[in-house]
Chains A and B, each alone.
Chain A
Amino acid sequence: MDKTILITRPDHDITTRYLFYFAKEVLLLAERKCFKVFDLKKEKASRKEFEGRMKKHNPGLIFVNGHGKEDMICGYDNKFLVKVNKNEKVFKDKTIYALSCQSASKLGRESVKKGAISYIGYLKDFFFCYDEHKISRPLEDKIAKLFLEPSNQVVISLIKENTAQGSSKKSKDFFLKNMQKVLSSDSSKEFAYCAKYLWWNMKNQVCLEKNNVKK
């Protein structure tokens, strides 16, 4: 894979704030692994900047953090970055990981039909739990970490040159491990309620490629 990664990290509400901080860890890893990194953070996570960087630098790997719907992924202020029947062709020949709700169900499929190599994302809403006393320091939030470490495992594995299918599997294994951890007798009971949402994310993460998306 081409060693260029484009990351979008809006930060305009609590959800995107958490994704923003956890994605920074991925960004640092990519730099350590000698990737050329383009970081569209905060207001820069806009369609104009996104399309401009895609055209100019042609990154092979795209990591999108933000809200989404079935037919779109969004950037700053929930304005769309990529939308079905607007600009999904921008993903041609790319590997995409969309940490956002629902976008695998339509945008992912359409992107693969139009030439994306792999689209990893979620068919339904992505859930995570967090401690409201930690919102100013998301990386210290042990509860959010139970969710955002396994989800970011997808792109960490891609950076480490695993295949898209293999990267999704590693992420799902991580979700399962955390689920077993919170339900084990050694775990504090206050984490047990997280298990169903970890399971939900694991179940709804998909890796779409030419061989599993019908034309």
Chain B
Amino acid sequence: MSNINYIENKDARDLVKARLDTMPRNIKISIGSEGSFSKEELKEHVDKKDSIGEKIVEIDMEFLQALKRGVLYG
């Protein structure tokens, strides 16, 4: 887990929820033994700030940072 506590940042949570809205309704995300989640369920976890919400926000925020560092170019 990153040292930055993104889940406590309301702007980060709102950004992640807005980005989750781009997911089509028929798509679900499998997160290992945690189970499978629709975008609506993931948004609820982000609002609850629980461990699943925390993972989703962490990945999104770290990915945005990685894009800035040029991760797409290998």
Residue pair A129, B28 in contact (C-beta under 8 Å): yes
Does chain A have a CB within 8 A of B72? yes
Number of contact residues on B: which range applies? 20 to 34
**Other-chain residue from B19, B55, B60, B74 in contact with A125 (beta carbon distance below 8 A):** B55
Give the number of residue pairs across the A-B interface with Cβ within 8 Å. 75
Question: What is A's interface to B at a CB cutoff of 8 Å?
Answer: 13-15, 18, 67-69, 74, 78, 100-102, 125-133, 143, 173, 176, 179-180, 183, 189-190, 192-193, 195-197, 199-200, 203
Which chain A residues lie closer than 8 Å to B24 at the CB level? Answer: 190
Whether A176 contacts B31 by the Cβ 8 Å rule is: no
Given contacts A14-B36, A190-B24, A193-B23, contact A128 B59 (CB under 8 A): no
In the complex, which of the residues B34, B35, B63, B74 contacts A195, with contact meaning CB atoms closer than 8 Å? B63
Does B33 touch A at the CB level, under 8 Å?
yes
- Pairs A–B under 8 Å by Cβ, sample size 21: A15-B36, A78-B33, A100-B32, A101-B32, A101-B33, A125-B32, A125-B34, A127-B31, A127-B59, A129-B28, A130-B27, A130-B36, A132-B26, A176-B72, A180-B72, A189-B22, A192-B22, A193-B22, A199-B63, A199-B66, A200-B59
Q: How far is the CA of A197 from the CA of B56 in the complex (A)?
A: 10
Q: Which residue of A lies closest to B38 (CB)?
A: A132
Q: In the complex the two chains form, is B29's CB within 8 Å of A128's CB? A: yes
A143 with B36, Cβ < 8 A, contacts A125-B55, A199-B63, A200-B59 known: no
Kindly list chain B residues whose C-beta atoms are within 8 Å of the C-beta of A176. Answer: 72, 74
Cα distance, A204 to B41, chains bound together (Å): 24
